[in-house]
Amino acid sequence: MLPIITEDMSAEIFSEAFQDVQAWRKNMVQYLKEENPEINSAILEVAKHDEGIDLKAVALGAYLAYRLLEVANENENLSIEE
């Protein structure tokens, strides 16, 4: 089951990402190359698959979703430990 993403988590990640979208996206590419290269490859492959869509927008959405799930999972694990 996927962890629950709260409004607070979303607001935090969105404010972080939207301060400088291009830099944040580039940082996520580097982060995922190390943390989970298969997910990064899948995101980039999907983004390249359809010429009719904005590749950067697809990648940004996928990176945002990944980061939100990652933060929610970390918070859920902290709750379990307490």
pTM for the full model? 0.84
Q: Which domain holds residue 42?
A: 21-81
Q: Is residue 43 part of a domain?
A: yes
- Model confidence band, residue 44 (pLDDT cutoffs 50, 70, 90): confident
Residue 28 or residue 47, greater confidence: 28
The gap between the terminal CA atoms of the chain, to the nearest Å, is 20
Residue 77: predicted pLDDT: 82
Provide the number of structural domains found in the chain.
1
Distances 64 to 14, 18, 27, 81, 82 between C-alpha atoms, Å: 8, 10, 12, 26, 27
Q: Is the C-alpha dihedral spanning 77, 1, 16, 45 positive or negative?
A: positive
Half-sphere exposure of 67 (CA within 13 A, CB side): 22
Q: Is residue 65 part of a domain?
A: yes
Q: Is residue 13 part of a domain?
A: no
What percentage of the chain exceeds 90 in pLDDT?
Answer: 62
